[in-house]
Amino acid sequence: MKGAILNNRYKLNEVIGIGGMAKVYDAYDMVLERSVAVKVLKGEYSESEDFLSKFKTEATSAASLSDENIVAIYDVGSETINDDIVEYIVMEKIDGITLKDLIDENAPLSDEKIVFYGRQIALALQAAHRKGVVHRDIKPANIMINHDDKIKVTDFGIARVSSKATITYTSSVLGTVHYISPEQVKGLAIDNRSDLYSLGVVLYEMATGDVPFDAETPVSIAIKHIQDEPLLVTELNSEVNPNIANIINKLLKKEAVERYQSAAELIRDLDNYQNIDFVTANKETQKFNGKKIAPKGVPVSYETKEKPVNQTPDTGDKKLSKAFNYGFFSVLAILGVVLIYFLLSSLATSNQDEDMVVVPNLVDYSEDNALSRLKELGLEPAYDERIHDSAIQKGYVIEQSIDPQTQVKKGTEVRLTISKGPEMVVVPRLTSFDLEVAKELISKEGLSDGEVTYENNEKKAGIVISQFPEAYSSVNTGAKINLVVSSGPKIEKVEVPKVIGQLQSAALESLRARNLIPGNIRLEYSSEPENVIIKQSIEAGSQVDKQTAVDLVVSRGEDNKVNVPSLVGTDQENAVSTLRNLGLIADVSSEYSDKPVNEVLSQSIESGNSVDKGSAISLVVSKGPEPQPEPEPVDPPVDPQPTPEQKKFVFNIQAPEGSESFNIKIYNASDRELLHDRTYTTAELDNSVAVVEITANEDTQFKILIDDKVADINYE
């Protein structure tokens, strides 16, 4: 079937599940362009016209169910492929695991998980039961858990049809036989309480890791459902909350009238399980030990020696037939005993007062149906207050003043409490608020967070631009509010050009032409020529938003660095020679000191530092001790000599290409006097030109160093 297309729409992919009746395929809806799951019935079930008719009817009925805890059914149909009729159901695809997987790996589950999952399953059953749909095959394998920890109940419809057929006790139905109700085993009429029994088995397995009844053959398991009592949950798991154990025990009652009468009743107890005050049961009925218990006063022998049905194909049918026949006659015997019991009970009560009637269970009945039922029985309906209830819809019975199954006289007043439905709240306006603020408002009003989606919008990112339900509408308390949030204006993507190998100026132009911003520019020595781009931060060909910054690394050419030696203490001649041998320039000045003449007193760059070849190293050498001044002779007065005329010199110095900052030193070439020493940044300059003004004698000659390199600069 893989690759087949059903209804020119659903393309089947891999098989993702196999059950007793069908295979489930991962599929793709080519019309709505979404993933779906397609359940295809096995061939043997497609041969019965009666079965097909019921299957289609029930599948269509299941498709009418709409609840967040029920897998949605999208389509039902049939297709002829290779002369074979293929019956299929298209449903919501759930990405997750089954509850069976979770139980096998983690059971026993915590109290919180039992209640959390149990409540969701009960909500799904409540939605189905109100539509008149009974699942009939509730089991962990039919319950999915998605990645958000939400329960999704599957197989509505198919389960209802399959339960109409005679139960075949083979190994293929072991999974179902563990969960069927006593009335299903007996072939009696089945209603919503049968689903609640099956849910009780599921909760029992969640709490203990085991099913309540197990045996070597399906027949034996089925009989246990009728006549055995399970071990108490607390005997298998002492850590489970006793009230949760009591809830499970009530769900597993043999008689449907002793169980919860509706999913709504169960939901209320699960919501309030920590505060329930269960009536303490009689010790004799409380301590079950897994032994078979016959009806009171009826001696029945249950000693059977059933053989396993897990045999080879050649002999399995014969042994299975024996096991089935034995189980079949056992069930007939039990049914006979039950029939005699009820006949005797009927005779014993035939003389009772004909004015007595049994009060029915009216919880979760509509108000009209409850009134009609009471009047049919000759009882007097009356009302208590109407109250809000989150589990019972508006106009349905929440409570009744007389417990179900109580025998009373006709004419007795039965007071009903009717639901006003969930309490309504007004949805606040959330648009134009920041998402976090909107969530606070949702919580403050007793509502819950729904789906948050993002769209490009002129509003800044993070602002709510629409909501559903709309502002000021009335919704149930706890309703989910879906939000659409701005992800900011849509930004056009551009392709990053390749600038490696280009000169810096050309690379900057290329980036700006693509609406990209030159980012940080860093210099590194490399084998590439100076000012050539050797690295870019974003790979060429990448798609990025406009105005994205691209960082660049520019080559400084070959590494011509040398380490400055230690020259202090050496004589001037050796120091100058050492610097020249390293490719450095000695800039010598002198001063008086107590050191010998020509001994180096200091150097402008400390030893160990790395500098470029051609850099100038300033040395200060000793002139020896300062001479003592002699008495000045008294000379005859002479005419003063004129001082040399001074003028202002202007230097226009261009910043080195690609540099973010650079240093300028200007010396008087004749006496090595430092006239100017400053570091400039290109950001502070106009057109990358530093203008330096120096006032000096008009015959002064200047020596100019840029980054400690001699530069030939014209000046005015």
Tell me the catalytic residues: 137
Q: Concatenate the DSSP letters of all residues of 3-39 into one string.
A: T-EETTTEEEEEEEEE-SSEEEEEEEETTTTEEEEEE
| Cβ atoms 122, 266 nearer than 8 A | yes
d(CA 603, CA 565): 10
Q: How many CB atoms lie within 10 A of CB 226?
A: 19
Cis-peptide into 295, omega within 30 deg: no
Kind plus residue range of the DSSP H or E element containing 170 = none
CB-CB contact of 20 with 83 (8 Å)? no
615, 558, 557: which is closest to 583 by C-alpha? 615
Spell out the SS3 assignment of 522-560.
EEECCCCCCCEEEEECCCCCCEEECCCEEEEEEECCCCC
- 35: closest CA among 14, 21, 66? 14
C-beta separation of 567 from 600 below 8 A? yes
Tokens of 335: 């049914």
- Please choose, from the candidates 397, 448, 401, the residue with its C-alpha nearest in 3D space to the C-alpha of residue 427: 448
Site of tokens 């297309």? 5
Cβ atoms of residues 206 and 166 within 8 Å = no
In the DSSP assignment, the letter for residue 83 is T
Helix (H) or strand (E) holding 416: strand 413-418
Q: What single-letter DSSP state applies at residue 140?
A: G
- Around 224, how many Cα atoms within 13 Å sit in the side-chain half-sphere? 21
How many Cα atoms within 13 Å fall on the side-chain side of residue 547?
Answer: 2
Q: Which two tokens stand for residue 119?
A: 């409540």
Q: Which SS3 state, helix, strand or coil, does residue 612 take? A: strand
Partner residues linked to 63 by β-bridges: none
Q: Tokens for 192? A: 């919503």
Matching residue, tokens 């230690």: 566
Please state, in angstroms and rounded to a whole number, the distance separating the CA atoms of residues 448 and 161. Answer: 38
* Gap between the Cα atoms of 263 and 125, Å rounded: 7
Please check whether residue 431 is in contact with residue 447, taking contact to mean a CB–CB distance below 8 angstroms.
no
AA identity, residue 573: E
198: closest CA among 124, 280, 110?
124
Segment (H or E) for 271: helix 263-271
Q: Is the peptide bond before 182 cis (omega within 30 degrees of 0)?
A: no
Percent helix, strand, coil in the chain, to 5, is 30, 30, 40
